[in-house]
Amino acid sequence: MQTIHINRAEEMYDHPPIALAVGFFDGIHLGHLTVISKMIEVAEVNKLKKAVMTFDPHPSVVLNPEKKRTDYLTPLNEKRRIFEKLGVDYLFIVPFTSKFAAMSEKDFIRDYLTDNHVKEVIAGFDFTYGKYGKGNMLKLAEDRDGFNVTTVSKKALNDEKVSTTEIRRMLMDGEVEEANAQLGRPYKISGLVVQGEKRGRTIGFPTANVMPDEDYVMPKLGVYAVTLKQLSTGETFKGVCNIGYKPTFHDPSKSAVSIEVHIFDFHDSIYGERVEVFWHEFLRPEQKFSGIDALIAQINQDKVKAEQILRDMEL
């Protein structure tokens, strides 16, 4: 897959005719996957290259600074990895700046679609473009110039609209299973295993301290059943994870959030390894214990429960 970062629209134009899925696509959830699948279908029928156009940062950074979104379900590099696995040929990343936000609808159509060798545009029903977001899919179909337009309708799961906003809420409320259902896969955070305090080792529960490598949405603080994939070997392991401030040992007001995974029956050192943490089920909120013995007893209970949850999961 060729990734093209756009500073000027002309930088996109050196490629064959394309079918283009366009949107922000944070999460690449079931609704987004429907758009991408439709784009791939249309591209194959019309013998076009498969392309996706997305934006960075989230439009709210420019358009709604009071509610700006700077953390993501799928940060840019994660998004890129998923699109490549889906078989996309070209990924266009357009900087969402004040200048871009002020672009007229017709200029957007000309510069980013018509002149960009786009023959088919595929987007969700709620996609908007142009100054003040006045352009919508109905208007795009009316104003199209050299391309066809396909609108993908709302995707629902159990009568509930699949949406990035709802998935974010679910994760932050600890509703991981519900979020995973809308994503169509377990939520994932990628990062680097770094040196921690090594306190877990002293109480019999060594942990991998994972530092996220991008600005991911963090799930609700607490304890989870997780799996961890070591990217250098491709191996996946089951474990229990605490995300939080470790209040038994730290003042939350003076500490940073950490992600610490205790991997079951694992004794290797993996400092410096890149890993992916997959979140499967919320076990309990983070809490402060009266002492080490109470903490150890609770960790043992957490481990047993996580083992039960993950027992039949194929790795």
The domains found in the chain, sorted by start residue, are: 2-160 (3.40.50.620), 186-310 (2.40.30.30)
Whole-prediction pTM:
0.91
pLDDT at res. 222: 96
CB 243 within 8 A of CB 227: no
At 251 the pLDDT is 56
> In the structure, what pLDDT confidence band is assigned to residue 315 with cuts at 50, 70 and 90?
confident
Asked if residue 283 has pLDDT above 60, the reply is yes
Per-residue confidence band for 71, with pLDDT thresholds at 50, 70 and 90: very high
Mean pLDDT of all residues belonging to the chain = 92
- When pLDDT is averaged across residues 275-283 and rounded to a whole number, the result is 98
Q: What angle do helix axes 164-172 and 176-183 make, rounded to 10 degrees?
A: 160
What's the per-residue H, E or C state across the chain?
A: CEEEECCCHHHHCCCCCEEEEECCCCCCCHHHHHHHHHHHHHHHHCCCEEEEEEEECCCHHHHCHHHCCCCECCCHHHHHHHHHHCCCCEEEEEECCHHHHCCCHHHHHHHHHHCCCEEEEEEECCCCECHHHCECHHHHHHHCCCCEEEEECCCEECCEECCHHHHHHHHHCCCHHHHHHHHCCCEEEEEEEECCCCHHHHCCCCCEEEEECCCECCCCCEEEEEEEEECCCCEEEEEEEEEECCCCCCCHHHCCCEEEEEECCCCCCCCCCEEEEEEEEEEEECCCCCCHHHHHHHHHHHHHHHHHHHCCCCC
Is residue 313's pLDDT more than 90? Answer: no
Q: For the segment 97-149, what is each residue's pLDDT rounded down to a tens digit?
A: 999 999 999 999 999 999 999 999 999 999 999 999 999 999 999 999 999 99
CA dist., res. 101 & res. 97, Å (int)? 6
Query: What would the pLDDT profile of 243-270 be if each residue is shown by its tens digit?
Result: 987 655 555 655 678 999 999 988 888 9
Share of the chain above pLDDT 70, in %: 93
pLDDT in tens, 191-206: 999 987 665 555 557 8
